[in-house]
Structure 1
């Protein structure tokens, strides 16, 4: 994979005014439909902190710029290493035949031909764990990998903390702040325990805890988006009229705070951001549900 493209996220400017892509993914951000207006110093500082934190996270060990592999695990045995004859082809720094993973029902069995570190501590050459214990990691030199679950599917996610594709000068260009996209809305909660099923970009069914509907006005016209919980964060994933043209083709995401006592919420599209798939091909992003596909340009 070549050098990472500059990531264009919320209010982010298209570079060279043309469509950019990484693998089969389009990268984009929100293109404003109006002029920017003056904002308070406090709000400017808030957004500056948001932007800095985003860059810090993307560059961190837990971020997405260091991903270098994604390998879906089938039942049975799969070999991995740098040789192209393996089921899972690892980067060229690995031995030709480095090891294997065997899935037997609800268990994974890893065998390695060289010593690796388990959970960054214990030296091992083999290890077995259940599908309910996916918090283990394996390390070898600058690489780390672990098993992730998406729906009922499992994959090896591979990271390189010295990934040469990570640009140390990586930045995100933004359009000027427009406070008209910081919108007051209302939140109508669903009954507790409601779930929804959506798909990720691989077509895997993904279940999410749906928590309610956020309603708001744009230019006097009413719109609504369904919210869900992403860990501890109230989250909206959405598409709009710019999706696939001026913005990332997979849609965008934003977080919002808990409603006040009257059910009011703030939906700040200045803080919307692209899914990781916009800048790394080894990701497993969700596809916004039909209810969250707006016909306006945001």
Structure 2
């Protein structure tokens, strides 16, 4: 066996371990595959079939009124009769438990929403993993991060019609694919200094999910160097369920090349 074969095998094994961890998180008992509904709250109290209580929102935030015998656990403490969740900041959420389920209270696109999450949701129970391209070191690309003078507020669409999201873009990433120079507008990542890019490419709607894919990028080095490992490009929740409000990529992140790496169209959307 050659050194190249050994290194390729190690690369594939490391990717497989990462992807298993990613799929385990996706299939968490209270993850996105467990979501049974997406409800837009208003000033009018509403009751939903998959969560206890009557729910409303207003200037003081989200309030639930519970009937006799209904109980929610908020921060581990039982709540009866009524509870105020207060005013939520954009793209934040809190959860309350009932039985083996939870209900997510969140704010998206300037509106308050409710999403119950049940472990026995068929989408989660029947989940059999997400297909992906075979890992290929060719798609581990060197890039250069260029910070904007100031973060740029960037409005993008959403998986839900009529909804939009606004993110501060701190900069862009420059890289090449087979000699073609490309750029991606980057948003802040999950950890300090890291970056997130949302993109589509020539495979979108053909072998990969049409609306978007996401890639996490580690913090740039002191010279702005970054590594784009497109083998770790993943689907957002909207690829699996219509109960998601996922952002769409900014227009400039529609790559004209075919990125034959990362996750493909989920079986659930096949």
Question: 1:1-298, aligned counterparts within 5 Å?
Answer: 39-74=7-42, 76-81=43-48, 90-91=49-50, 98-113=52-67, 114-119=69-74, 120-132=76-88, 136-167=94-125, 170-202=128-160, 203-232=162-191, 233-298=194-259
- TM-score, normalization: structure 2? 0.83
Q: Sort the Cα spacing of 1:48 and 1:246 in 2 relative to 1 into closer, same or farther, 3 A.
A: closer
Gaps of 5+ in 2: 260-270
Q: How many residues align?
A: 248
Counterpart CA distance in 1 for 2:104 and 2:139 is: 39
Counterpart CA distance in 1 for 2:35 and 2:233 is: 22
Higher helix share goes to which structure? 2
Counterpart CA distance in 2 for 1:271 and 1:108 is: 37
3-state SS of 2:26 partner: helix
Counterpart CA distance in 1 for 2:99 and 2:25 is: 22
Counterpart CA distance in 1 for 2:132 and 2:156 is: 30
Counterpart CA distance in 2 for 1:286 and 1:206 is: 6
Offset at residue 180 of structure 1 (A)? 1.0
Give the number of the structure with larger relative contact order, counting CA–CA contacts within 8 Å between residues 6 or more apart: 1
Query: In 2, are the aligned partners of 1:118 and 1:136 still within 8 Å (CA)?
Result: no
Residues 251-278 of structure 1 show CA distances to partners (whole Å, capped at 9, x for unaligned) of 1010011122222111111000111111
Give me the CA root mean square deviation. Answer: 2.2
3-state SS of 2:204 partner: coil
Counterpart CA distance in 1 for 2:38 and 2:188 is: 25
Offset at residue 204 of structure 1 (A)? 1.9
